[in-house]
Structure 1
């Protein structure tokens, strides 16, 4: 991996968060971004041109800023956004069923992507999902909402997820992410 370099034209004017670009020889196609200690870290393949770097950094800055809007200063706003997302997904894929009473991000869930407590109609999502593609996060939300309808991983449970077109792809993505994390292959 090359040394991090500050990215000119990173955050919009007025946004104090600095952006650091990390080029990695191990990365071939993937781009990731996260926030560490108040700095946005964008990891890209070392082979990217300056134009590709500029395009992807701008894209990732927009994505992370959009996703984190309101989260740092108003965690309740983030939870309301998740609740709305869950309600939309339930309407589209679960016939309006499985809507949680509470849903939120947690930082103390390191071995699971999400968890549900049917008795309390609550869902918790691991902070490790942040920065993953929306279709993966949607799958985890749907998976946990399906547990509010059917607690066990039986045939009824899996039939609830059949209407979501990205179920198998998301399961494969999460399996790959878990394998990479377990084997120190984070790519940063």
Structure 2
């Protein structure tokens, strides 16, 4: 891409950060935007006027924010989703007292405290496809029924039709994180698991 210039300026609103506008001679009609850490990059055609730039930056920021709201449910929405997943796939048998986002999961996608009946989902999962988030939540819900990764645990979790695909997706994310030098993430785990728990060969767990 042939870039002419980049403008960086602060952006206020729902998500604080900076926006970098990149003008390209090759870009004729299309406008693109993506998050890069705390920065938002918006690529526009070189011919855009200042007014068109301002209009499209605002439009693309709004689109990104709407997309992120759909992919980043609140704690209350997580709880509602967990209840729905329990009803759909587990006959309503798994009933957590709370489901929340946390930022201290380290290598885990999520965790489940059996005694407190609390489920914590890593904030690193936010923004992943909804069917992957559902898998992580359901994984932790099944731990309320089967604390360890026994054959019964995996048989119960297998009712989720995208289980294998979601595990593969998470393995891919973990591999990418490892290659980029970040801490390697592993699939979700329970706090109260015994070390001898059985696991299927295809599941990469701690």
Whether the aligned pair in 2 keeps the contact of 1:2 and 1:22 (CA below 8 Å) is no
Whether the aligned pair in 2 keeps the contact of 1:33 and 1:131 (CA below 8 Å) is no
Whether the aligned pair in 2 keeps the contact of 1:117 and 1:123 (CA below 8 Å) is yes
Deviations 1:138-188 (A, max 9, x none): 0000000000110111111011112211101100000010111111078xx
Whether the aligned pair in 1 keeps the contact of 2:6 and 2:20 (CA below 8 Å) is yes
State yes or no: 1:62 paired with 2:66.
Answer: yes
How far apart, CA to CA, are the structure 2 residues paired with 1:19 and 1:127?
21
Question: TM-score under structure 1 normalisation?
Answer: 0.67
The alpha-carbon deviation at position 35 of structure 1 amounts to: 6.4
State yes or no: 1:149 paired with 2:145.
Answer: yes
Evaluate the alpha carbon distance shift between residue 106 and residue 177 of structure 1 in structure 2; reply closer, same or farther with a 3 A threshold: same
Whether the aligned pair in 1 keeps the contact of 2:42 and 2:60 (CA below 8 Å) is no
Larger Rg: 2
The alpha-carbon deviation at position 16 of structure 1 amounts to: 7.1
Tell me what 2:98 maps to: 102
State yes or no: 1:134 paired with 2:125.
Answer: no
The alpha-carbon deviation at position 109 of structure 1 amounts to: 1.1
Whether the aligned pair in 1 keeps the contact of 2:75 and 2:101 (CA below 8 Å) is yes
The alpha-carbon deviation at position 65 of structure 1 amounts to: 3.1
Unpaired stretches in structure 1, ≥5 consecutive residues: 24-30, 45-52, 70-77
How far apart, CA to CA, are the structure 1 residues paired with 2:88 and 2:41?
33
Matched residue SS, 1:149: coil
The alpha-carbon deviation at position 66 of structure 1 amounts to: 3.9
Tell me what 2:78 maps to: 82
| Equivalent residue for 2:107, pick from 102, 108, 111 | 111
Q: What is the RMSD computed on CA atoms of the aligned residues?
A: 3.9
Number of residues of Structure 1 aligned to a counterpart in Structure 2: 157
Question: TM-score under structure 2 normalisation?
Answer: 0.61
Unpaired stretches in structure 2, ≥5 consecutive residues: 23-32, 44-55, 183-206
The alpha-carbon deviation at position 100 of structure 1 amounts to: 0.9
